[in-house]
Structure 1
Amino acid sequence: MEELNGATIYWLISIGMLVGYLTDLLMIKRGIGTIGNVVWGAVGSLIIGVICIILGLFGPLVYAALGSIAFLFLINVFSFHSDSVADASASEPY
């Protein structure tokens, strides 16, 4: 059973950052960018990992990785940003 200490928090953040970086590599020039994916991956992993530790679930690091993937999926799908290529072509007169 895991306990919430400095080493566990370190591993939760590290797993989240790794998942965020791999997510950025998979989403080539789409989504929220490298820094956003790494930061939000760490945040999602930390939130899910702490919740799993508090609830006493088995394997909080695995749940943290899966939760970070789900969290990044939601953030990348619902991120609102304009496509600069589409905006530039729409403003050109014909």
Structure 2
Amino acid sequence: MQFTSILAMLVVGAVAGWLSGKIMEGRGFGLIGNIIVGIVGAFLAGLIFPALGFAVGGGVFSSIFFATIGAIILLFLIGLVKK
């Protein structure tokens, strides 16, 4: 894996984690936590959406969109477990 792809993954993860924290009413975990939530959310979206028949397109904006949706799902599940 090249440095630029790792950097892009971290940026997409950070943006997706930050957006999901804002959408889910302040459930963010700080910068490092948001990056982790965004990356795990992107992985989760990469598993869920193709199984449902949705195509995950290429590009930065679609990556951020799908990673944000996956991170929202992840934050929702974390909220269920915490309660």
TM-score range, shorter chain: 0.5 to 0.7
Unaligned runs of 5+ in 1: 49-56, 83-94
Amino acid at match of 1:70: I
CA–CA distance in structure 2, aligned partners of residues 5 and 58 of structure 1? 21
Note if 1:41 corresponds to 2:27. Answer: no
Pair 1:13–1:44, CA change in 2 (3 A): farther
2:8 partner amino acid: W
Q: Which residue of 1 aligns with 2:6?
A: 9
Aligned positions, number: 68
Say which one has the larger Rg: 1
Q: Is the 8 A contact 2:41 2:73 kept in 1?
A: no
Q: Give the TM-score of the pair, scaled to structure 2.
A: 0.56
Indicate the percent of aligned positions where both proteins have the same amino acid.
18
Which consecutive unaligned segments of at least 5 residues does structure 2 have? 47-55
Give me the CA root mean square deviation.
2.7
Relative to its length, the structure with more helix (as a share) is: 2
Alpha carbons 2:13, 2:38 under 8 Å: kept = yes
Identify the match of residue 21 of structure 1 among 11, 15, 18: 18
Distance 1:37 1:27 in 2: 12
